[in-house]
A and B are shown apart, each in its own frame.
Chain A
Amino acid sequence: MIKKKMIISQETMDVDFVRKVEALAGTSVRRCFQCGKCSAGCPMATFMEHPPNRIMRLLQLGQWQRVLAGRSIWYCVSCETCTTRCPNTVDLASIMDALRKLSWDSDGASKESYVQLANKLFLQNIRTYGRQYEMRLAAVFNVKSGQFLKDLMLGPKLIAKGKLKMFHSKNKNISEIEKIFTRIEEMRKKGDAL
């Protein structure tokens, strides 16, 4: 987290970034008038250094580096309470998605490694198998995060209850999913999508 004093000036305000966030999220950052309802209802606010309403204020002031430098956006659990309660219809949950995407793309300093790792493995599984396989997801996550013993006692119980499948198959139409991933990558290369 950047501790130094915040100076608001033409030089430190990056409004282009905020416009990108607004385009991705399909909502307005400027509409927020700091009532704080989003932070009051946020179940994760206590884990964040910038609660949701402060993230909005920092964005309005063009101080996005401060937002991405922190872990707040990776602690948002996408419960949609903020979006539901905003009196100015700011879709804050989508703004969080947009910020995570921009941080993810820029390989930014704010990477909360475990959350990122879980997301990455989840998407890899979809690309490879077409569906999610929880056993594989959990096992690979533990190995890659170095937490070999995490939930170790839970695994055998879940298998006994039939809740974790040891084997899985690929979708028959798996080539279609690869095409979707590839087309999106191509669109981004050509600049047709953010």
Chain B
Amino acid sequence: MGKPLNYSYYPGCSLHASASEYDLSTRELFNVLGIGLTEVPDWFCCGATPAHNVDELLSLALCAKNLELADKVEGDMAVACASCFSRLKTAQHVLGVSDVKRTQVEKAIDAPVKLDSNVKHLLEILAKDLGLERLAAAVNKPLSGLKVACYYGCLLTRPSDVPNLDCAEAPTIMEKVIEAVGAETVAWTHRLECCGANFTLSRPGVVIQLTNAVLESAKAAGADCIMVGCPLCHGNLDIRQKEIEGVYNTSYGLPVFYLTQLIGISVGLGADKLGLDAMMVNPMPLLKEKGLL
């Protein structure tokens, strides 16, 4: 065993509501893996897409405030949501290169900005800090025979010089992590295409069109299920899947798992500890068929 891993945990707004199963499965999985998570006290919303869309200064200030709050907790910052992850990394990047913006943000939050803290997505913690070998060693129920379509969406890897999680155009980190716990992965065309994200509220028609293309591609590649690391992708692929099937008069029936749920199954966590009942597309028939639950 290496040194103990401890992180300040920034769940983000979705994980306290529509993605509560992502929060639950993250806490349970990290507990089993012996990775400490301490929630950032009184964290604020990162501003997400709406803030940077119309007010970059506000977006940067909200992220800088959260970085300051996270600094009070020991360890690097662990972020579950791809959008929060992207915003926090973007803020560090922009504030690092622009003196003008840094001065404005420092005035806005009335404190110096913290640029040296490491902001990490859960994938990075599992693949790099814990390491694939230690992750594989924790597996007691390998996901053998399960064909997983790893869906990165937009913000885990783009733009190339900001998140630094993996290559922006041909990432492999999700595949590596889920193969380490015994699953098979499929090669498919839409793993980096956009699902429509927050247009789910204002322009659902757009989301239905874009998300359908993603589901269609995963199905055509022979996937049993899709794995995501973003609550917005999950919302569109899972919650809207039935509606999309109706619009396009087709049937996908693809369960959409958070990465922590799938890995959680492989380390022996039960359905109740992974929030599997919160999924709109019922994963139980698939998991029973594969002998995983």
Could you say which residues of chain A place their CB within 8 Å of the CB of B61? 180, 184
In the bound complex, CA of A24 to CA of B59 (Å): 13
Take A118-B198, A122-B48, A131-B13 as given contacts and tell me if A163 and B278 are in contact as well, using a CB distance cutoff of 8 Å: yes
Alpha-carbon separation in the docked complex, A192 to B104 (Å): 8
Does B33 touch A at the CB level, under 8 Å?
A: no
Given A101-B55, A131-B44 in contact, is the A184-B108 Cβ separation under 8 Å? Answer: yes
- Chain B residue contacts of A78, Cβ below 8 A: 49, 52-53, 154, 197
Q: For chain A residues 152-171, which have a beta carbon within 8 Å of chain B?
A: 154, 157-158, 161-165, 171
Which residues of B in the span 27-83 have a Cβ within 8 Å of any Cβ on A?
42-45, 47-58, 61-62, 65
State which size class the interface on B falls in: 35 or more
Residue of A nearest to B160 (CB): A84
- The listed residue (A83, A85, A163, A177) touching B44 by CB distance below 8 A is A177
Whether the Cβ atoms of A83 and B278 lie closer than 8 Å is: no
Tell me which of B13, B52, B169, B202 contacts A115 (CB under 8 A): B202
Query: Which of A2-10, A28-36, A56-64, A134-142 touches B?
Result: A134-142
Question: CB distance B13 to A134 under 8 Å?
Answer: yes
| Segment at the A interface, from B112-120, B172-180, B203-211, B217-225 | B203-211
* B141 contacts chain A at the CB level, 8 A cutoff: no
Contact A47 B107 (CB under 8 A): no
Cβ–Cβ contact B44 & A171, under 8 A: yes
A165 CA / B23 CA spacing, docked (Å): 15
Segment at the interface with A among B14-22, B131-139, B261-269: B14-22
Which of B54, B107, B158, B194 lies in contact with A183, CB distance below 8 A?
B107
Contact at A161–B108, with CB atoms within 8 Å? no
Interface membership of B193, Cβ < 8 A: yes
Tell whether A123 is near chain B: CB-to-CB under 8 Å: yes
CB distance from A90 to the nearest CB of B (A): 11
Are A154 and B201 closer than 8 Å at their CB atoms? Answer: no
Please classify the interface of chain B as helix (H, G, I), strand (E, B), loop, or mixed, using the class held by over half of its residues.
helix
**Distance in Å: Cβ of A110 to nearest Cβ of chain B:** 12
Q: How far is the CA of A55 from the CA of B71 in the complex (A)?
A: 40
Chain A contacts for B62, CB-based, 8 A: 126, 177, 180
Annotate A10-21 by CB proximity to B: 1 below 8 A, 0 otherwise.
000000000000
CA distance A151 to B160 in the complex (A): 36
Which of B17, B51, B160 touches A135 (beta carbons < 8 Å)? B17
Q: Which of B17, B169, B198, B278 has most chain A Cβ within 10 Å? A: B17
For residue B229, CB closer than 8 A to chain A, the reply is: no
* Interface-central residue, B50, B56, B101, B278, by most chain A CB under 10 Å: B50
- Which chain A residue shows the least CB distance to B55? A101
Interface residues of A (CB under 8 A from B): 24, 26, 43-44, 47, 75, 77-81, 83-85, 91, 93-94, 97-98, 100-101, 104, 114-115, 117-119, 122-123, 125-126, 130-135, 137-138, 141, 150-151, 154, 157-158, 161-165, 171-173, 176-177, 179-181, 183-184, 187, 192-194
7 tightest Cβ-Cβ pairs between the two chains A and B: A132-B13, A80-B158, A122-B50, A79-B194, A79-B154, A118-B202, A119-B50
Q: List 7 A-B contacts (CB under 8 A).
A: A43-B193, A117-B202, A123-B55, A131-B43, A163-B18, A179-B110, A180-B62
